[in-house]
Amino acid sequence: MMETAALSPGCGVEVKGVSLAEAQGERLDAIRDLIYRHGVAVFRDQSVSPEEHIAFANRWGGIDINNYFPLTDEHPEIAVVRKTEDQTTNIGGGWHTDHSYDQVPAMGSILVARTLPPAGGDTLWAHMGAAYESLPDEMKTKLEGLEAFHTADHIYAPDGLYAQTDQGTALRGQELKTGATHPVVIRHPQTGQKLLYVNPGFTMHFTGMTREESLPLLQELFAHAMKPQHQCRVEWKPGTVAIWDNRTTWHYAMNDYQGHAREMHRITLSGEALAA
């Protein structure tokens, strides 16, 4: 019997009574719907082998191979999100949504905890449907018809942010060039919910405006979206799996466990083109 409990009033759901290794058919459809609506779903006490991780993702739909993270030797479908005990920089340590820099962004990810620190390393999510709905009407009107340009080049390029940290040598894809333009407000492809689709990690400027001209409005939207009432926080434990929707949420990986290793295995789920 599948049971659900909200992680917070504005974002996220914890799901009990489900074995992801066996979920398919109507049970998988119900899980999909929860994630589309709540943004992220957390499953505890799961026993998911790499092969079961891949099989579940294939039952969901297509898998996107990650261009930047190291891949497991046996299973290139699985990207490794790793921080070693002697590294000080983590992956994803700032608000962002994955793959907004792709013209067809990935739908989301399935993240399996493999090695955890004794404490810390939580992940925060923020719900962009809740963020949009709580905007003033005049701001909603202002955003109608606006589009924005997204890229990851300033993060992953040879002279990008990660190259200047102790994560630089572990990452791949520094030669890639990215760039995509999306509506600032999109409709979720499955639920139809209106979502704010800009993020601090990858959104550079509005179409027809410079970065400098765009920043005041971008920063206003970012500050609004990351208000606590739009967020939930997930504490990782052995056997925890999180599945989230990139269209519906941002996320932020806390970097508060210096001196300890943390390793997560991630499979990215294919998405579809976005529309206003």
98 is catalytic: yes
3-state secondary structure of 152: coil
| Joined tokens for residue 170 | 């572990």
Eight-state DSSP code of residue 228: G
Catalytic residue among 38, 64, 98, 99: 98
Residue pair 212/100 in contact by the 8 Å Cβ criterion: no
| Joined tokens for residue 273 | 């083109």
How far apart are alpha carbons 189 and 36 in whole angstroms?
9
Task: Tell me the C-alpha to C-alpha distance, in Å, between residue 151 and each of 40, 76, 101, 201.
Answer: 24, 24, 4, 9
Residue pair 128/195 in contact by the 8 Å Cβ criterion: yes
Catalytic residue among 96, 99, 114, 182: 96
33 CB neighbour count, 10 Å cutoff = 13
How far apart are alpha carbons 225 and 227 in whole angstroms?
6
96 is catalytic: yes
93 CB neighbour count, 10 Å cutoff = 15
266 is catalytic: yes
- Write the single-letter amino acid at 253: A
H helices present in 39-159, as ranges: 50-60, 128-133, 137-143, 153-156
Catalytic residues: 96, 98, 251, 266
